[in-house]
Amino acid sequence: MTLWMVRHGPTHAKTMVGHADIPADLSDTNALGRLSAFLPDAPVVSSDLIRATATADAIQAHRTRLPHHSDLREIDFGDWDLKRFDEIQDQAHIRKYWEEPGNIAPPNGESWNAVYRRVSDTIDALRAEHSELIIVCHFGVILTQVQRALSIPAYDAFAHKIDNLSVTKIDEHGASFINYKP
């Protein structure tokens, strides 16, 4: 099984963007064309958030498009969604969330471990049906699978740079950090 995980186009937001449904800037059609040409002939699935669905539509070309999947959404930041780090009143809480990822959750949001389980269960179900798949999703979603493929702690996974419109390839040998940037 090979996963080609594509991070959606840029939102230009300067905040934590989780389940907020904000669009991506897909004005660089040349970059999208190069990205589409780089990817294999495999089915495309995306998160159901508009920044991912629109990116998937833009790179689909001749590929089969699978239905959007809500379990491929970004981390649910709850009350922190669309806020900057410095806007969070409980600074100790947000620091602990990022520095000790695990069971700590934002108010009305989900913990890293919950995101990891949600995404991994979804990926496992998709793997049962497809030998190769292009998944257009989000920073946190990709990092869960980097953590899983490399068998590393979540904190170490956070150190990986996942650019907008980049590709992270994950197969039975682990994660390949192509970081393809069109």
Q: Residue 136: in which H helix or E strand, if any?
A: strand 132-137
Give CA–CA dist 3/171, Å, rounded.
6
Q: What is the pLDDT along the chain (182 residues), one digit of tens a residue?
A: 899 999 999 999 999 999 999 999 999 999 999 999 999 999 999 999 999 999 999 999 999 999 999 999 999 999 999 999 999 999 999 999 999 999 999 999 999 999 999 999 999 999 999 999 999 999 999 999 999 999 999 999 999 989 999 999 998 776 665 656 66
Range 102-134 burial, b when 16+ CB lie within 10 A, else e:
eebbbeebbbbeebbebbeebbeebeeebeebb
The model carries a pTM of: 0.94
Strands (E), 11-80: 44-46
Give CA–CA dist 128/137, Å, rounded.
19
Q: How many CA atoms lie within 13 A of 172 on its CB side?
A: 4
CATH of domain 2-180: 3.40.50.1240
For residue 135, give Cα distances in angstroms to 82, 87, 100: 24, 32, 27
For residue 168, give Cα distances in angstroms to 12, 125, 133: 21, 19, 12
